[in-house]
Amino acid sequence: MTKNKRLRAIIYLVITALLWSMGGLLIKLVDLNSVAIAAGRSIIAAIIIMIVMGVPDFKIKKYEAFGALSYTSTVILYVSATKMTTAANAILLQYTAPVYVALLSAYFLNEKITAYDWFTILIVVLGMSLFFFDKLAGGSILGNILAILSGVGFALTAIFLRKLKDGKPINLVIYGNILTGIIGMPFLIGKVPSGTSILGLILLGVFQLGISYIFYSEAIKNVSALEGILIPILEPILNPVWVFIFIGEKPGFWSLTGGLVVLTAITVRCVKNIRG
C-alpha cells in the first residue's frame, strides 16, 4: 500500500466524520418514529449510493450478509438511541466501538493491535470522557443501552467492510440500507411528515448516510479496521460545532479540552502510520 493511498483514505475518513456528525442535529429535527427515520434515510441513501456506485448483482456473499445485518442494527439502534436519550450520550456510547474492534480484529482480520494502538484508544476514551464530562447523565437508560449496542454493531460493520476490502465493500452498505428500509417501511405508513421532517430525511439520506458511506467504503480498503473506527471519532467532536452554529450553544472548558486531546491523539497516530 502506497503512502498516497493511505493519505487519501485518511482524508476520506475525515470527510466521513464531517458528514456523520450532522446526524444528531438532523435526527432531532425529524418528527417521526425512530425506526421510520432509520428506514427513510436508508432508502434515500441506498438510491444515492446505487446512482453513484452502480447497482450490485444481489448475489449476496456470507460476509456481505453478516455485515448488512450489523449495519442495519447499527443505524436503527443509533437513531432509536438518539431519540430516547441525549445526542451526546448516543454518540459517545456508540464510540465505544474501537475497543470491540481492537478485541476482534486479530481473530477476524489477522490485523495486529499494538501496544501503541491500545494507548491511543485509552487516550481517546479519556479525551471523550472529558468532552462529555457534564453531559453523560440523564436521558433514558434504555436509550443509553441501545447506544452501546449500536457501538457493537458499528464495530462489526467496520470489520466486515474491511473483510471485503478486495471486493466491493459498498455492496454491504447497499444491502444494509435496503434491509433497514424493508424493516422500517411499515413505520413510514400513516403519518404525513412535515416539510422540516422531509428536508431532514433528505439531508440524512443523501449526505449523512449516503455520500458518507461511499467515502467510508473506499477508505476502509486502505486502512486497518481499527483506523476505520478511530479516525471517525472526530464525529462526536464535530457534533457540538453544528449545535453551536445552528443553536448557539457554546462548548465549555471540558469539551474544548477533551476535543483537543482526541484530535492530538488521532493526528499523532495518523502521522506515525503514514510515515511508517
User: pLDDT tens-digit profile of 223-253?
Assistant: 888 888 888 877 777 776 776 777 665 666 7
List pLDDT tens digits, range 104-140: 888 888 888 888 888 888 887 787 777 656 555 555 6
The DSSP line for 8-29 is HHHHHHHHHHHHHTTHHHHHHH
| Percent with pLDDT over 90 in the chain | 38
Confidence of residue 158 (pLDDT cuts 50, 70, 90): very high
- Is the pLDDT at 89 greater than 80, yes or no? no
Instruction: State the maximum Cα–Cα separation within the chain, in Å, rounded to a whole number.
Output: 55
CA distance 118 to 259: 19
Is residue 30 within 8 Å of residue 37, measured between CB atoms? yes
CA atoms 102, 263, 273, 228: torsion sign: positive
Which cell numbers hold the place of 255? 469539551
Q: Which of the pair, 46 or 167, is modelled with greater confidence?
A: 46
CA distance 216 to 170: 9
3 state SS of 223: coil
CA distance 169 to 77: 22
What residues contact 216, with CB distance under 8 A and at least 6 apart? 12, 13, 16, 161, 173, 228, 232
Is residue 112 within 8 Å of residue 106, measured between CB atoms? yes
- CA 61 to mean position of chain CA atoms: 23
CA distance 73 to 151: 10
- Dihedral over alpha carbons 212, 214, 216, 219 (to 10 degrees): -140
pLDDT of residue 273: 60
What residues contact 99, with CB distance under 8 A and at least 6 apart? 121, 125
CA distance 154 to 70: 7
Which amino acid does the sequence have at 218?
E
- CA 143 to mean position of chain CA atoms: 17
Q: What is the tally of helices (H) and strands (E) in the chain?
A: 14, 0
pLDDT of residue 237: 73
Q: Which of 242, 219, 223, 232 is nearest to 262 (CA)?
A: 232
Report how far apart the first and last C-alpha atoms of the chain are (Å, whole number). Answer: 11
Neighbours of 264 (CB within 10 A): 13
Confidence of residue 274 (pLDDT cuts 50, 70, 90): low
Q: Which of the pair, 276 or 258, is modelled with greater confidence?
A: 258
- Dihedral over alpha carbons 150, 153, 154, 155 (to 10 degrees): 130
Is residue 13 within 8 Å of residue 232, measured between CB atoms? yes
Report the predicted TM-score, pTM, of the whole model to 2 decimal places.
0.83
